[in-house]
Structures are given as C-alpha cells and as structure tokens.
Amino acid sequence: MVETIKIKKGLDLPIGGEPLKEVIDARSIERYAVKPTDFVGFTPRLLVAEGDTVCAGQPLVEDKNDTRLRLPSPVGGTVTAIVRGEKRRLLEVVITSRTGSKSSTNQPNLTPDSPCWWMIKERPFGTIANPDHKPKGIFVSMRDTNPLAPDLDFALKGREHEFEAGIKALEAYGTVHCVKAQGPHPAGNIGTIVAALDPINKGECVWSVGAQDVANIGRWCLTGEYRPERVISVGGPAAKAPKHYRVLCGANVQRISDVQLMDTSYPNMTGSTTTSSTRIISGSPLSGTTIKADGFLGMYDQQLTFIEEGDQYDFMGWLMPGLKKFSFSKTFLSGLMLPFKAMEPLMPVKPSFSFNTNMHGSVRPFLFTGQFERVFPFDIYPLQLIKACIVGDVELQEKLGIYEVEPEDFALCEFIDPSKTEIQTIIREALEVLRKEAMA
C-alpha cells in the first residue's frame, strides 16, 4: 500500500543533537494552547471565554470565513487564559487540563464537524482543507526528512490499527497515497511527493495529513475519543538530552525545556535554566517557529529543536579556514571532509556541526545561480519563481508553478543562499496574495 519515490536533489544537514530512540511519556503536561496563528488564512472567532470548562474536542475558535472550520481543545479542562497580541490579534487560547474530564463522543466519523478536521491540510496555500473542494489526491508522507525529525515508523509503533482506520476514513474523500520517500531532504516533504507523483495545476488541490494525525483520526473513528497524540523528537545542538517525547498537540514545553536547558555544570542548581542564549523552535530548524521556554508546541509540529543563538561577531569570518563551519558550497575547509560520501560508513562518528542562528553574512542581491537547483527537486526554476514573487508578478508566478510549492519547500534554498534572502517569507507573502484573490 505504501508507495515509494526516489529523490536525488537535496541535502541532509549534518546537525548535532540527534534524539535517542527512547520515548518519554509527557502526556501528563497540564497546560495546552490552541494557536490560531498556526493555521494559514484562519480568521479566528472565539467560542469560549476565560474560566469556561471545556471537554476534549470541543471547539474553541472558529474561522470567520467558514464556520465549519473549528479548532478543538486538545484536552478537557478549563480555559485559563486568552492571549492577544498587537491589534488584539488572538494568539493563544490556553487550557489547563483536568484529569478525569470526558471527551465528547457523539459522532465518531471523519466529517468537517469532527474535531479531527483541522489535521487535513490543503495545497495550494497550506490552509485547513476546504470541505467543498474535491482533492485530486490525499497524501501522507511516511518519512519526515527534516533535520532531527522523528522516525515515523518508530513514532507509529503500536498504532498500526489506528493508522489503518484513519486511512479508511480518509478514503471517503479521495484516493489516499501513503508515500515513503527515499533520498535526502526535502524528499519527505508533501510538496516534493506531490510534485513527483501528480503535480498540482492551477485550479486543482490536494490534501495532506501527517502520518501521526492519520492515527489520531483513526483513534477518533474507532473509539470516539479525541486525543491528538504525537511522538515528537526533541533535539538540536543545544539540547542537553535529546530524546523523543509522547505529548498531546499544543502542549506546553516548559517541562521539556527545563530538562533540555538544564545547566549541568551546576548540579545543585535544580530547576535553573539558561534560556537567554538558546532558541527553542517548534518544528524543524529549517522552517519552524520560535517559541519561548514556557511556550506551546505548534499544532502541526512534531519536533522541538534547541539551537544556540549566534549573536556573536566572527572575526574575519570570510577569510578563516572554517573547519567547524558547515557549508553546502565547499568554500570552507570543512568541505574537504564532506565530499567523500562513500567513506561515511567507514567513519567512526558521523561528522556533525553545532549550527547556531547566526546569519553568517549580510543580505545581498542574488549573484550566484545554479545552487538552488541542487536542493530543489521540482520541475520549477526556483530563482525565477522567487524573483517573480519579489516583483509581485502574479501571472508569471502562476506560469512558473507557484501552486506547486509551499514556503517549506524553499527551506533548503534559503539555508544555502549566500545572499541571505528570506525566501520562505517571500513565498508565503506571494501565496497569501494569491489565496486572497482566489477567495474574493
């Protein structure tokens, strides 16, 4: 049933802090948040107030543009905070869970009313699936190739029957393709898989569901219990004890970051954390979102990455040999060690680099060409599409294949870009213009 695709272009980052194959149960975390900002194009309207008691699966927020799209509470408990940002923009609805609270169990099947609907994403644009659309395929990636991402076979161990039930439920909406991609990142991205099997044309759409969410949908359909559970990988060069954690979606990460940031040089200082110099990312280091040490996991994210902030000067960085710096180009001495891919099995330790968040340079116009193509497995000219997005030429964007991509598909291009352009932001903004035009 599982299809395979083979990708050659791409790059697996040799990043340190790979998590051990060991799962810590963290489902007892008490605070959760639903963040409407995790959902592209979602205009939230609150359905609850502070102090309300909610049960797991009860909608907390709905989309003003389509009230069928609702975001449910991941646990039963009390709404303890509603966090707003600038211009009263709704950022977080915080729930404190109460043990023994029941989840609503009325209609255990997958309909737009069910609490699981948000797990289905739609391309182009990356929104929650529109129930009125008929997707030309539903894609499930069986391998997450992001750096430090969890091994999905490992994460789904013991949930096989739930996974199968989830697939069955999804089949009511279209053909489901479970795809295990081979090759370097971004092989496992939905964008890469769709481009390899059946690229999206203008006016078409595909849906995608995360493999662990398929199991969550399956559980809902089998038992009527809404419990959006995930095994997340917790790692990165700045993580002290990289491991896997079993959590519910939207969990507070305080308990995890306490352990990961513990300053081990002072064994007696219990509970003290060093957060100022470490960035915590919900999601992949290539496309995730920065959160605070007491922040909440993103709804779709299945990894938590700890990376040193690189806010330090680097003396003559452009001239130094750079044995410890990673570059996809071989302009640093470290590049001498990497070309011998064939020798990798012989090496006692896989070379790994402690990446930080430094830009490693200033922003420049595009000078070099032909680099993006090496990490971009699409039948698209990446530089030309990026330029079309910068100048806002909608027609040209369509011709060049904007509907086939999401910002995360450009993550590696952004990573290797010597001009330090914020490509993912550029692509997101272009897609938002198109999405709003399509809605109007």
Partner 1 sequence: MNMKWLEQWFEKIEPKGKWAWLGSTYEAFHTFAFTPKTVTRSGSHIRDAVDMKRSIIIVVIALLPALLFGMWNIGYQTNLAAGTDWGFWHCFWFGLLRMLPMIVVSYVVGLSIEFAFAQVRHHEVNEGFLATGLLIPMIVPVTTPLWQLALAVAFAVIIGKEVFGGSGMNFLNPALVARAFLFFAYPTHMSGDKVWIANDLWGSDAIAGATPMGELAAGMHPSASAIDMLIGTILGSTCETSVIAIALGALLLLFTGIASWRIMLSVFLGGGLMGLLFNAIGYNEYMQLPFYYHFLMGGFAFGAVFMATDPVTAAQTNTGKWIYGLLIGAFAVLLRVCNPAYPEGMMLSILFMNCMAPLIDHCVVAQNIKRRAKRAAIGKEAHNG
Cα–Cα distances in Å, from 44 out to 38, 70, 130, 358?
A: 11, 9, 16, 34
Residue 285 lies near partner 1 (rule: CB under 8 A): yes
Residue 437 lies near partner 1 (rule: CB under 8 A): no
* In the complex, minimum distance from the CB of residue 380 to partner 1, in angstroms, rounded to a whole number: 7
The conformation of residue 423, written as its DSSP 8-state character, comes to H
* In the complex, minimum distance from the CB of residue 206 to partner 1, in angstroms, rounded to a whole number: 12
Rule CB under 8 A: which of 292-321 touch partner 1? Answer: 305, 307, 309-319
Q: How far apart are CA 375 and CA 260, in angstroms?
A: 31
Nearer to partner 1, 32 or 372 (CB): 372
Residue 106 lies near partner 1 (rule: CB under 8 A): no
Residue 28 lies near partner 1 (rule: CB under 8 A): no
Cis before 228 (ω within 30): no
Contact 293, 273 (CB under 8 A): yes
Pairing of strands 138-141, 176-182: parallel
Considering only CA atoms, which of 209, 197, 207 is closest in space to residue 377?
197
Binding window for partner 1 (CB under 8 A); candidates: 183-191, 221-229, 249-257, 376-384: 376-384
Nearer to partner 1, 188 or 285 (CB): 285
C-alpha of 115 from chain center: 20
Residue 8 lies near partner 1 (rule: CB under 8 A): no
The conformation of residue 20, written as its DSSP 8-state character, comes to P
Single residue of 360, 394, 429, 435 touching partner 1 by CB under 8 A: 360
> Which stretch of DSSP H or E encloses residue 329?
none
Residue 86 lies near partner 1 (rule: CB under 8 A): no
* In the complex, minimum distance from the CB of residue 131 to partner 1, in angstroms, rounded to a whole number: 19
Strand order of the β-sheet with 77-84 is 31-34, 90-97, 77-84, 53-54
Binding window for partner 1 (CB under 8 A); candidates: 24-32, 88-96, 227-235, 362-370: 362-370
Please state, as a whole number, how many other Cβ atoms lie within 10 Å of the Cβ of residue 397: 24
Nearer to partner 1, 178 or 416 (CB): 416
Q: How far apart are CA 256 and CA 202, in angstroms?
A: 43
Nearer to partner 1, 57 or 184 (CB): 184
Residue 274 lies near partner 1 (rule: CB under 8 A): no
C-alpha of 289 from chain center: 8
Which tokens is 400 given? 């060049």
Count of positions on this chain that bind partner 1 (CB under 8 A) = 79
Which residue in this structure is represented by tokens 């964008």?
Answer: 191
Which residue in this structure is represented by tokens 């995890």?
Answer: 256
The type of residue at 432 is: E
Rule CB under 8 A: which of 320-349 touch partner 1? Answer: 322, 325-332, 335
Residue 424 lies near partner 1 (rule: CB under 8 A): yes
* In the complex, minimum distance from the CB of residue 437 to partner 1, in angstroms, rounded to a whole number: 18
Nearer to partner 1, 319 or 342 (CB): 319
Single residue of 401, 405, 430, 431 touching partner 1 by CB under 8 A: 401
Single residue of 67, 107, 175, 201 touching partner 1 by CB under 8 A: 201
Single residue of 104, 114, 260, 371 touching partner 1 by CB under 8 A: 371
Cα–Cα distances in Å, from 290 out to 166, 271, 278, 287, 317?
A: 31, 22, 11, 10, 26
Nearer to partner 1, 132 or 311 (CB): 311
Nearer to partner 1, 30 or 308 (CB): 308
Rule CB under 8 A: which of 116-145 touch partner 1? Answer: 136
**Residues with Cβ within 8 Å of residue 440, at least 6 apart in sequence:** none
* In the complex, minimum distance from the CB of residue 296 to partner 1, in angstroms, rounded to a whole number: 18
Residues in a beta bridge with 247: 230
Residue 405 lies near partner 1 (rule: CB under 8 A): no
Binding window for partner 1 (CB under 8 A); candidates: 41-49, 108-116, 189-197, 359-367: 359-367
Pairing of strands 243-248, 289-291: unpaired
Residue 391 lies near partner 1 (rule: CB under 8 A): no
* In the complex, minimum distance from the CB of residue 259 to partner 1, in angstroms, rounded to a whole number: 21
Residue 229 lies near partner 1 (rule: CB under 8 A): no
Residue 17 lies near partner 1 (rule: CB under 8 A): no
Q: How far apart are CA 393 and CA 387, in angstroms?
A: 9
Q: How far apart are CA 97 and CA 228, in angstroms?
A: 14
Q: How far apart are CA 70 and CA 396, in angstroms?
A: 35
